[in-house]
């Protein structure tokens, strides 16, 4: 989750400079807050698409939420963008699936086949440079219920879709300064809107 905050003193400074009323300042702030959160949401979708190499925008949009909270009285509220950073199914990511090569079964001195130890699995190589190629034990690549992916065979015989970890690359992207301009963006929206309210006596 990425949050941003604003100094109330900066709001009051702009209010005084423009000769705005308290109600005009509050109204302008909350409109600017919603505009800023909406802009950050769009940037967040673009960030996750870039970091994960998701196949389509809808996959990412379902993982990102935006919200604004209005505080009682004339205090400014807060805005947040929330990311769902749990592992993503292989089928939602761009990349290639490689089946493990078939083992050549070995025979013992009596000509009997030797049981192979362990179980190799399919490998997923993501298109995104921020994710690493990963092999999944006891797995295979196949189309199941119309979904092409890597499937892991469970102990009970059922299969579950393989998932890729996206937490670390997403955190790195978020902490790289991607949202450092949030406060400046809000102040720009706020100043423009408040100036319009004062000019129009709204």
What's the rounded mean pLDDT across residues 74-94? 88
Q: What would the pLDDT profile of 42-75 be if each residue is shown by its tens digit?
A: 999 999 999 999 999 999 999 999 988 876 666 6
Please enumerate in sequence order all residues whose Cβ is within 8 A of that of 53, keeping only pairs 6 or more positions apart, or say none: 93, 94, 95, 126, 127, 128, 130, 131
Q: What would the pLDDT profile of 139-178 be if each residue is shown by its tens digit?
A: 999 999 999 999 998 888 899 999 999 999 999 988 888 7
Cβ count near 143 (within 10 Å)? 10
CB 88 within 8 A of CB 167: no
User: What CA–CA distance (Å, rounded) separates 89 from 92?
Assistant: 6
- Beta strand 123-126 with 95-98 is antiparallel
What's the rounded mean pLDDT across residues 92-118? 70
- Compute and round to an integer the Cα radius of gyration of the chain: 26
Q: Is a pLDDT exceeding 80 seen at residue 33?
A: yes
Instruction: Give the distance, in angstroms, between the CA of residue 170 and the centroid of all CA atoms in the same chain.
Output: 7
Would you state the pLDDT for residue 117?
47
CA distances from residue 72 to 31, 53, 77, 78, 130 in whole angstroms, order as listed: 16, 41, 8, 12, 42
User: What CA–CA distance (Å, rounded) separates 48 from 169?
Assistant: 9
Closest residue by Cα to residue 51 from 148, 127, 123:
127
The three state secondary structure string of 28-89 is HHHHHHHHHHHHHHHHHHHHHHHHHCECCHHHHHCCEEEEEECCCCCCCCEEEEEECCCCEE
Q: For the chain, what percent of residues have pLDDT higher than 90?
A: 61
Residue-level length of the chain? 202
CB 55 within 8 A of CB 92: yes
Q: Is a pLDDT exceeding 80 seen at residue 107?
A: no
DSSP 103: P
Would you state the pLDDT for residue 183?
86
């Amino acid at each position: 989750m990425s949050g941003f905050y604003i100094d109330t003193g900066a709001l009051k400074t702009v209010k005084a400079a423009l000769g705005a009323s308290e109600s005009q300042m509050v109204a302008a702030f909350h409109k600017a807050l919603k505009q800023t959160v909406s802009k950050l949401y769009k940037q967040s979708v673009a960030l996750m698409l870039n970091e994960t190499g998701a196949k389509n925008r809808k996959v990412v949009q379902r993982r990102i939420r935006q919200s604004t909270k209005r505080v009682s009285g004339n205090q400014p509220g807060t805005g947040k963008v929330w990311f769902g950073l749990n592992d993503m199914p292989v089928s939602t990511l761009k990349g290639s699936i490689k089946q493990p090569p078939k083992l050549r079964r070995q025979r013992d001195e009596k000509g009997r086949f030797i049981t192979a130890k362990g179980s190799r699995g399919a490998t997923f190589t993501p298109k995104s440079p921020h994710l690493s190629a990963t092999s999944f034990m006891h797995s295979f690549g196949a189309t199941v219920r119309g979904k092409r992916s890597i499937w892991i065979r469970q102990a009970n015989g059922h299969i579950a879709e393989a998932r890729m970890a996206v937490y670390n690359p997403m955190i790195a992207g978020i902490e790289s300064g991607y949202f450092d301009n949030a406060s400046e963006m809000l102040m720009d929206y706020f100043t423009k809107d408040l100036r319009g309210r004062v000019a129009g006596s709204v």
